[in-house]
Amino acid sequence: MAIIEVCDFGKNFSIHHLNKTMQAVKNINFTVEEGQFVGITGKSGSGKSTILKSLYRTYLPDEGYIYYDSGRFGRINLSEAPERTIVYLRKHEIGYVSQFLNVMPRRTARELVKQALLEMGEDNAAANREAEKTLNHFQLDPKLWDTYPNTFSGGEKLRLNVAMATVKQPRLLLLDEPTASLDQQSKGKVREVIEKLKASGTTLIGIFHDIEFMDGLTDYVFDMQTHYEGMSIAHES
């Protein structure tokens, strides 16, 4: 059963100072079945992050639709869902990992991971235990657990980001370059967690420049390049 259906999706951005509109992506169609891992590849600027952000409802489509089959609400059109539904989905069903850490200020790494677990209904003691286990798994130095992440290195921030999103075991996990600045060992840790999530039924959609990382993980890869080449061939005929 499809958990995500992207139908004729297109997104434009206004460039205010030039008084122009730029079409970032157009005619995107793909479906993702429950439990699949779909990779998105393509050259820089081809619109990969735009698609992922639209699946998280950070952006609204200008053309077409994105349907998400929610565990709680059933099949919903993401652009029409009320804000409170989106807040619920982000807390309980859809996780998003970007290369950038965007968290509440003055919360320690431990508090942030714990908060994610409390939102999923864990009690305080279990959330504490699980948070420590997760921070350990991602090899975040225990000296950092009770400090604010604004001073963390890029790799530490990224590992905390992945920890916060994966600890919730979301139904759908969106990954925007989650291994971008990680060394081989940390990449291995991320891969381990992705494999575990996939085995437990999580659906994953991810952007990876590291093609090797996707090897053996993805069910199929949506290549932006092929998509647009396909479109121009269709135009010519």
Nearest distance, CB of residue 12 and ligand ATP, angstroms = 9
| Helix or strand holding residue 4 (H, E) | strand 2-15
Q: Which tokens is 48 given?
A: 């990969």
> Does residue 54 bind ligand ATP (CB under 6 A)?
no
Nearest distance, CB of residue 46 and ligand ATP, angstroms = 4
Q: For ligand ATP, how many residues bind (rule: CB under 6 A)? A: 10
Nearest distance, CB of residue 185 and ligand ATP, angstroms = 24
**Contacts with ligand ATP in 160-199 (CB under 6 A)?**
none
* Binds ligand ATP by CB under 6 A, chosen from 44, 151, 200, 232: 44
Nearest distance, CB of residue 34 and ligand ATP, angstroms = 25
Give the whole-angstrom CA distance, residue 114 versus residue 92: 14
Map residues 13-32 to x or -, x wherever contact with ligand ATP holds by CB under 6 A: x----------x--------
CA distances from 11 to 16, 46, 59, 147, 184 (A): 16, 12, 8, 39, 35
Nearest distance, CB of residue 150 and ligand ATP, angstroms = 23
**Contacts with ligand ATP in 193-232 (CB under 6 A)?**
none
CA distances from 215 to 168, 192, 209, 234 (A): 25, 13, 12, 30
Point out which span in 41-49, 100-108, 117-125, 141-149 binds ligand ATP (CB under 6 A): 41-49
Q: Residue 31 burial (CB < 10 Å; 0-12/13-18/19+)? A: middle
Instruction: List the one residue out of 3, 40, 8 whose CA is nearest residue 219.
Output: 40
Instruction: List the one residue out of 149, 156, 36 whose CA is nearest residue 102.
Output: 149
> Does residue 48 bind ligand ATP (CB under 6 A)?
yes
Residues near ligand ATP (CB under 6 A) are 13, 24, 42, 44-50
